[in-house]
Structure 1
Amino acid sequence: MSRFTSFQQFYPYYLQEHADARCRLMHYIGSSLVLLVLVFILLTGAWLWLLSLPVIGYGFAWFGHMVFEHNKPATFQYPWYSLAADWVMYKDFLTGQLPAKLAQAGISQG
């Protein structure tokens, strides 16, 4: 992997590492569950559940990489860019912007 000096440079690479829609789905499931658990925590004050958030979020994502993408998650080399990119990809998915951004990154949607 080359060294990225900005998030703008990193994000297309991140999308290329998530070309398989099933891997992206695993990310969306993990991110959605993280948000649901956060709401649960805020409503109940069960702060110990905060410890589960990385397990939930990364667990689903890493499963997607292992089973569908067969690649090493970018988290290990670019932890902060990767975390931010995961939420940007989730936002792009929810707002319908993802197909255009995948196309810009050279990913066909078969």
Structure 2
Amino acid sequence: MGKLNFLAISSVGILALSFLPHYFLHPVGHSNTDCGKFTKPSVDENGNPFEDFATFYPYYICEHLQPKTKLFHFVGTGNLILLILYTLYSKHNLLYSLLIGAIQAYTFAWVSHFTIEKNKPATFNYPFLSFLGDFKMFSECLQGEYVLWE
């Protein structure tokens, strides 16, 4: 199966997966932090650049307040995870799969930022921290911490 076919099929599967925490766990929150303390984009509450993931992640969540934005990220990150697992299982070129996976994940994410959230993706200023944030938010969404479906 080609990578693009796999991504199309996995997108449907990830969408179905994203509904399960909503159905079984009934999340009610959009954020787990006080977003009012971030008055300027891409800096902490003191106006300084973020230096570590622990201080960055609350800001990251505040940049993803709309459930649809989280859903787009969930699908992109889920596809990336499944594509890596599929590549390891099938022994295809991992570097190529990572490239395709990253392109589709960032496409989902950036489209949601520009069209739904109407903000600039944190990836532009903090690429590594944002990458980690995607996986943590994916995990928290699976655990029912955030609303993905309204």
Could you state the TM-score of these two structures normalised by the residue count of structure 1? 0.82
* Aligned with residue 115 of structure 2, among 58, 67, 86: 67
Quote the offset at 1:36 in angstroms.
1.4
Query: How many Å separate the matches in 2 of 1:97 and 1:20?
Result: 14
Q: Kindly indicate whether residue 64 of structure 2 is the aligned counterpart of residue 22 of structure 1.
A: no
Unaligned runs of 5+ in 2: 1-41, 44-48
Unaligned runs of 5+ in 1: 100-109
Residue pair 1:41, 1:50 contacting (<8 A) in 2 also: no
Deviation by residue 1:26-71 (Cα, 9 ceiling, x = unmatched): 0000011111111221121121323201101111111111110011
Give identity over the alignment, percent.
35
Query: How many Å separate the matches in 1 of 2:52 and 2:103?
Result: 27
Deviation by residue 1:2-32 (Cα, 9 ceiling, x = unmatched): 2112211111110110001101100000011
Could you state the TM-score of these two structures normalised by the residue count of structure 2? 0.62
Question: Structure 1 39/8 Cα, relative in aligned 2: closer, same or farther at 3 Å?
Answer: same
Residue pair 1:10, 1:81 contacting (<8 A) in 2 also: yes
Compare the two structures and name the one with the higher helix fraction: 1
The amino acid across from 1:83 in the alignment is F
Q: Kindly indicate whether residue 67 of structure 2 is the aligned counterpart of residue 39 of structure 1.
A: no
* Aligned with residue 86 of structure 1, among 130, 134, 150: 134
Query: How many Å separate the matches in 2 of 1:16 and 1:50?
Result: 27
Query: How many Å separate the matches in 2 of 1:29 and 1:88?
Result: 14
> Larger Rg: 1 or 2?
2
* Aligned with residue 97 of structure 2, among 49, 57, 63: 49
